[in-house]
Copies of this chain bind each other. A is one copy, B any other.
Amino acid sequence: MSTPARIGLLGRGTVGGAFEGLISERAPAVEAATGRHPEIAGVLRRSEGDFERILADSEIVVELIGGTDPARDYVLRALHEGRHVVTANKQLIAQHGDELFAAAREAGVQVRFEAAVAGVVPVIRVIQESLAATRISKVFGIVNGTTNFILTEMAASGASYEDALARAQDLGYAEADPTEDVNGADAAAKMAILARLAFHSPIRLDDVTYEGIEEIQPEDIAYAKELGLSLKLLGVAERVEGGLSVRVFPCFLYGGHPLAPVEGPFNAVMVEAPAITEITMSGPGAGGVETATAVLGDVVSILSGEAPVHEPSEQLEIVSDIASAFYLHLEVADRPGVLARIADVLGRNQVSVRSVVQRGLGDDARLVMVMHEGPEARFRAALDEIAGLDFLRAKPRAIRVIEEEFV
């Protein structure tokens, strides 16, 4: 049996607690992927725990304290002592990245920070690994969930900025002091990190200009809606003539833009390069277990060191009768009782109808129905019966429908 992989955990707030839970729940999966069984070597909290003892006992240090002091000291100590570090701390990386990366190179260890930008959206890995040798021209997106929630709320309900912010605070999407989020500073730190990685250039936080959303009026959003526009707080880092530009600003997008449908607390990042056209990635930008999952992904990468193992570890059955919703297109004789007969067949097979459009067609009629989700076998049984009805003028056509609607 291999030695356990011992992880020192600094900080045990929402994300730290979720990470501890994930480690215990997913330890067998980590071991299947990496050959190493992960264990928490110790937890440093504000009021308890001994950093030196935890450091001595750990092979990987996970920093989830936030802020730069004392996080920077702890992380530097860990790197100097030859420990790999995983952090979710955007300020630490944006302000002290160069110092930390140099320490990691010197010690021959890794520092990973996927969770520092866009939560579980794997933008750091994609830029650094998939696109490491690609000449990226632009990285941009929605990297602050608080402001995206507020703007979504203002657009949906016509609420004022103040009311939308209060609602975000009630729901836990904004902090009691939301300044750094709403004035664009949080997004600026994240864009400094993305720009550095995308352009291999030492971008400092001061290089990023930013504006926030505090002055947005509901009527701007209302007018813009008439023009087919939706408002987002965008971070944009791009190559321009003469160098780079890294900015954060509120911005309208036309309806066809891939970022236009990103709503609520979600984040999304697009990467453009001549060789890839564009890649868009989106997902939850925060949340305890989501952020902890990004941290765990980094831990797994450190432990595997090599490529994935590709060994099947589960034997799962293939199931064929899946719950599905269907669209059903019928051409029928246009006479009384037809709809009732069809509804009867559906009802007896426990297929529930969500919407119906009927239209005349000379002596015939077309019935287009959309069903609610249910076991496919029941719908198929109903369809077989319907296909045999004497008033049918053509073979019925059935197509699946995805019923869920999103954010």
Category for how many chain A residues contact B: 35 or more
State in angstroms the CA–CA spacing of A251 and B376 once bound together.
14
**Considering only CB atoms, which chain B residue lies closest to A359 in the complex?**
B223
Q: Are A327 and B128 in contact (CB under 8 A)?
A: no
Q: Are B133 and A257 in contact (CB under 8 A)?
A: no
- Interface residues as binary, A305-319 with B (CB distance below 8 Å gives 1, 0 otherwise): 111111111111111
Tell me how far the C-beta of A87 lies from the nearest C-beta in chain B, rounded to whole angstroms.
Answer: 13
- Interface residues as binary, A208-252 with B (CB distance below 8 Å gives 1, 0 otherwise): 010000011101100110110101001000111111111101111
Q: Is A278 an interface residue (CB 8 A)?
A: yes
CB neighbours (8 Å) of A217 from chain B are 329, 397
State in angstroms the CA–CA spacing of A203 and B287 once bound together.
33
Q: Are B220 and A399 in contact (CB under 8 A)?
A: yes
Q: Is A377 an interface residue (CB 8 A)?
A: no
Q: How many copies does the complex hold?
A: 2
**Considering only CB atoms, which chain B residue lies closest to A26 in the complex?**
B133
CB neighbours (8 Å) of A261 from chain B are 256, 258, 261
Tell me how far the C-beta of A13 lies from the nearest C-beta in chain B, rounded to whole angstroms.
Answer: 17
Q: Are A307 and B302 in contact (CB under 8 A)?
A: yes
State in angstroms the CA–CA spacing of A121 and B292 once bound together.
24
Given contacts A133-B297, A134-B293, 10 further A-B contacts (CB under 8 A): A97-B310, A98-B312, A105-B309, A129-B300, A129-B301, A217-B329, A219-B329, A240-B322, A257-B405, A275-B289
A-B contact pairs, 14 of them (CB 8 A): A26-B133, A26-B135, A29-B135, A34-B132, A120-B130, A122-B126, A134-B293, A219-B329, A242-B317, A245-B322, A258-B406, A277-B287, A277-B290, A280-B281
A residues apposed to B, CB below 8 Å: 22, 26, 29-30, 32-34, 97-98, 101, 104-105, 110-112, 114, 120-122, 125-126, 128-135, 196-197, 199-203, 207, 209, 215-217, 219-220, 223-224, 226-227, 229, 231, 234, 238-247, 249-254, 256-259, 261, 273-284, 287, 289-290, 292-294, 296-297, 300-302, 304-320, 322, 327, 329, 355, 357, 366, 368, 370, 397, 399-407
